[in-house]
Amino acid sequence: MADGLAPALLRVTDLVKTFPGLTALDHVSLEVRGGEVVAVVGHNGSGKSTLVKILAGAYAADGGAVVTEEGTELHFIHQDLALIGELTAVENLALYKSPDPDRACELVGRFGPVFDIEAPVRDLTPAQRAVVAISRALDGWTHPANVVVLDESTESLHKTEVDVLFDAVRRLAADGAGVVFVSHRLDEVLTLADRVVVLRDGRKVADEPVATLGHGRLVELITGGQAAMAHTHETTVRDGDPVLTVRGLRGGTVEHLDLDLRPGEIVGVAGVLGSGREALPSLLYGAASGAADELTVSGAPYPRRSPGGSLSRGIAFVPGDRARHGSVRDLTARENLTLPQLRTLTGRFGNLSARREHAEADRLFTTYQVRPARPEQRFALFSGGNQQKIVMARALRDDPAVLLLDEPTQGVDIGAKAAIYDAVESAAAAGTAVLVSSSDAKELLRLCDRVLVLRDGRCAAVLTGTDLTEHRLVTEGYGLS
């Protein structure tokens, strides 16, 4: 690995990038040597993606330099994946070459079951799209001493897919490549990286070998010493009538599913990519097409699901792909936060004054630690994690009867994660029935009263109480038990 003698393949010196009224990168320098995995971590909005975009040439820096070793190419997996939605996986994998379905099959097949590689990638799940983007970045290297840059590429992936990705990355590094790994998943950072660079408010505050860093120290560096939460959920057993009942639900990767959701309970959904886990929330909401033998909401049949119909029944949904589905990118953050949703429909929210709307936006910004604290900034200009906080804040604010969450804290920093968990728990305490689909086992353990583990589109196990462990989630997910 990094022995100090390998050449620097990439040298970043004194990089400065400002946006109106904000310094996103403040004299940042770093080096990536051949054979080395360098993690870049930091809170939401600390400048990680800005750094990646400058490396990619998508943004021009205001100052500083980026120098690569002769012959070294940079390959990117961007946070937004940068795929072309209308094109298929095969076509996205072949942007600069001729399409090769066999090769595409082989590439995506390394991560698990092959999905529909001839469908437009916009119809794939977030995890499937991540697999396409990763496959593209790892394919077609003409030179071993390249640098691959991964910006939060594992966020939608389950442990199996992450393992495949890490194996591939380690192999590239062993052959002399340099790797830049941007992530909020600190366990993965500690597992994969040789060295960790910590950004805080655009400044580099640490650049240390991973060997000298523990989880606690890393959290301290990221937060600047603010205490982070450590708390597990107390299982609550709810009885009473379910607010949502479904029998024989199917559609997408879901083959057959029965589910009862009671007011106040937090039910998790786990499973590997393609298990149905990632398809379930949007299927229940009616954002994806499917069918059910029976579906009732608050005791009344709800035969034809649609987003509008779900909304009017008090069902809220936070999609995994919020940048595209969860928001209006050209409105301000405040407008996104106060967009009329359930409340206009229930009549409680019809005459919100502009002043109250501003105060409400300020309050939500503080609660969820959105940075920069500028509700009047265009939504699209917030960093990925901050966009996620805004979309979550809105869904939780609406006091829904049923809250369907797909990867609720994907890309979110530790401080805001705690705020989101607290808000989900308060919503449940106030009677909201919550369904959380997540690829993050720790998140499910932290939040849920019980967890359905899906395998091949069906419920393979329901874990609760002392059975609800990370080990069981993994073994049931793979069918190893």
Ligand X SMILES: Nc1ncnc2c1ncn2[C@@H]1O[C@H](COP(=O)(O)OP(=O)(O)OP(=O)(O)O)[C@@H](O)[C@H]1O
Dihedral sign for Cα atoms in the order 414, 419, 420, 424: positive
Closest to ligand X by CB, 246 or 370: 370
Residues 6+ positions from 314 with CB-CB distance below 8 Å: 297, 298, 342, 346, 400, 401, 402
148 bridge partner residues: 75, 179
Q: What is the DSSP string of 20-57?
A: TTEEEEEEEEEEEETT-EEEEEESTTSSHHHHHHHHTT
> What's the min distance (Å) between Cβ of 176 and ligand X?
28
Please name which of 302, 357, 353, 317 lies closest in space to residue 334, comparing C-alpha atoms: 357
- Report how many residues bind Mg ion under the rule CB under 5 A: 5
> What's the min distance (Å) between Cβ of 322 and ligand X?
12
Closest to ligand X by CB, 179 or 249: 179
Structure tokens of 121?
Answer: 């990638």
> What's the min distance (Å) between Cβ of 61 and ligand X?
13
> What's the min distance (Å) between Cβ of 85 and ligand X?
20
Whether 390 and 368 have beta carbons less than 8 Å apart is answered as yes
Residues 6+ positions from 13 with CB-CB distance below 8 Å: 29, 64, 65, 66, 67
> What's the min distance (Å) between Cβ of 271 and ligand X?
26
Residues 6+ positions from 476 with CB-CB distance below 8 Å: 270, 453, 455, 460, 461, 463
**Which single residue brings its beta carbon nearest to ligand X?**
385
Contact between 384 and Mg ion per CB under 5 A? yes
The letter for the amino acid at 147 is: V
> What's the min distance (Å) between Cβ of 39 and ligand X?
13
Q: Which does 19 bind (CB under 5 to 8 A by kind): Mg ion, ligand X, none?
A: ligand X
Closest to ligand X by CB, 79 or 253: 79
Options 74-82, 255-263, 305-313, 419-427: segment touching Mg ion (CB under 5 A) = 74-82
Lateral strand order in the sheet of 37-42 = 74-77, 147-151, 178-182, 37-42, 195-200, 203-209
CA dist 448 and 475 (Å) reads 18
Contact between 183 and Mg ion per CB under 5 A? no
Q: Which does 371 bind (CB under 5 to 8 A by kind): ligand X, Mg ion, none?
A: ligand X
Options 79-87, 112-120, 241-249, 352-360: segment touching Mg ion (CB under 5 A) = 79-87
Contact between 79 and Mg ion per CB under 5 A? yes
Residues near ligand X (CB under 6 A): 19, 22, 24, 42, 44-50, 79, 371-372, 381-386, 411
> What's the min distance (Å) between Cβ of 211 and Mg ion?
26
Closest to ligand X by CB, 398 or 440: 440
> What's the min distance (Å) between Cβ of 323 and Mg ion?
11
**Contacts with Mg ion, 44-63, as mask; x by CB under 5 A:** ----xx--------------
Closest to Mg ion by CB, 79 or 377: 79
Please name which of 1, 428, 325 lies closest in space to residue 179, comparing C-alpha atoms: 1
Closest to ligand X by CB, 294 or 330: 330
- 179 burial via Cβ count (<10 Å: 0-12, 13-18, 19+): buried
- In the complex, which residues of this chain contact Mg ion (CB under 5 A)? 48-49, 79, 383-384
